[in-house]
Amino acid sequence: MQATLHQLKVFATVARHRSFTKAADELNITQPTVSSQVKHLANTLGLPLFEQIGKQLYLTEVGEALLGTCRDIFDRLENFEMQVADFKGMKRGKLRLAAVTTTKYFVPRLLGSFCATYPEIDISLQVINHQQLIQRMTENEDDLYILSNPPKDINLEVQKILENPLVVVAKSDHPLAEKHNISIQELNGESFISREAGSGTRRAIQELLNKHKVSVRVRLELGSNEAIKHAIAGGLGISVLSQHSLFAKELESELAILDVREFPIERYWYVAYLSSKQLSTIAQTFLEYLLEQSQF
């Protein structure tokens, strides 16, 4: 196959954006150049890589396969560059991480001290919900993933790193805030603020409520733990959040953790990577660093 690395890079950028215009912007070249590079590649293969339906650009089956191959090639080249830097006694390169939203209370801090030791490393950290993270995982977008509830149907190397207890949070003047040893049934009919569909926290809560046949009244759905805390403080209802998302000063003033018997829901955060992935030196170094900080 007579494809150049440049053509593969142009193709992969179009595929990522599903747009010739956006790829041209990102690569700082003209759109006709992008189109002609992709056309050359398709001619070499003898098969189309994209199909246009209405305004939407789709990858063909061979396009999907080529995109996977491009990811492997660019990963390996990037790893090689890092190895070269390593041979020269430098840790330099890029670390790609994706982490579920609740980890934002500890991952950036860990990254801070890691970067202080290795200042030449660039980091991209995607903070997203469980479902979005699984999507990135299946597309092999990142080096390492930090999440609760690692999927069973993807081949992963997984290590437990920290506890992630989920607790019931209410406004501090909520009638249940003073009570102890509350039964989960008492939450029946409570106004509830839920995370968005696709959230791992939401799923864990739903499973527990279903198990105990408790039905809450979902009054509001929000995609952020911070927004949920404000909504609780604003009197819109109760919610269940990772204990790590709560700060002492909030618990002293406007929020309270309810003493519900079936809580906290015991969960953990794990660091994971695809078993088929050849970790870069930097990803390996960060993984070791994370495991050193681990509680387990």
Residues within the interface to ligand PGA (CB under 6 A): 100-102, 129-130, 148-149, 164, 195, 199-201, 267
Residue 147 to residue 98: CA distance in whole angstroms? 9
Nearest distance from C-beta of residue 147 to ligand PGA, angstroms: 6
- Closest to ligand PGA by CB, 63 vs 200, is 200
Question: Rounded to the nearest whole angstrom, what is the least distance from the CB of residue 38 to ligand PGA in the complex?
Answer: 35
The distance of closest approach from Cβ of residue 127 to ligand PGA in the complex, given in angstroms and rounded to an integer, is 8
Interstrand relation of 255-257 and 166-171 (parallel, antiparallel or unpaired): antiparallel
Pairing, β 144-147 against β 93-100 = parallel
Instruction: Please report how close the Cβ of residue 149 comes to ligand PGA at its closest, in angstroms.
Output: 6
Q: By C-beta, is 270 or 286 nearer to ligand PGA?
A: 270
Looking at beta carbons only, is 135 or 149 nearer to ligand PGA?
149
Residue 94 sits at the vertex; the CA angle it makes with 90 and 97, to the nearest 5 degrees, is 130
Residue type, 233: A
Rounded Cα–Cα distance for residues 75 and 109 (Å): 26
Provide the angle, in degrees to the nearest 10, between the axes of the packed helices 107-117 and 281-293. 120
- Shortest gap between Cβ of 129 and ligand PGA (angstroms)? 3
Choose between 48 and 165: whose C-beta lies nearer to ligand PGA: 165
Nearer to ligand PGA, 201 or 280 (CB): 201
Q: CA 179, CA 220: separation in Å to the nearest integer?
A: 25
Instruction: Find the helix packing angle between 31-45 and 5-17, rounded to 10°.
Output: 110
Q: Which is nearer to ligand PGA, 19 or 101 (CB)?
A: 101
C-alpha angle 75/76/78, rounded to 5°?
65
With CB atoms as reference, the residue minimizing the distance to ligand PGA is 200
| Non-local CB neighbours of 91 within 8 Å, separated by 6+ positions | 82, 85, 118, 120, 121, 281, 282, 285
Q: Looking at beta carbons only, is 34 or 147 nearer to ligand PGA?
A: 147
CB 143, CB 279: distance < 8 Å: yes
* Smallest distance, ligand PGA to C-beta of residue 200, A: 2
Beta carbon nearer to ligand PGA, 111 or 240: 240
Q: How far apart are the first and last CA of the chain?
A: 49
Q: Measured from the CB of residue 174, what is the shortest distance to ligand PGA in angstroms?
A: 23
In our burial notation (b when 16+ CB lie closer than 10 A, e otherwise), range 139-164 reads eebbbbbbbbbbeeeeebeeeebbeb
Closest distance of CB 202 from ligand PGA, Å: 6
Contact 42, 63 (CB under 8 A): no
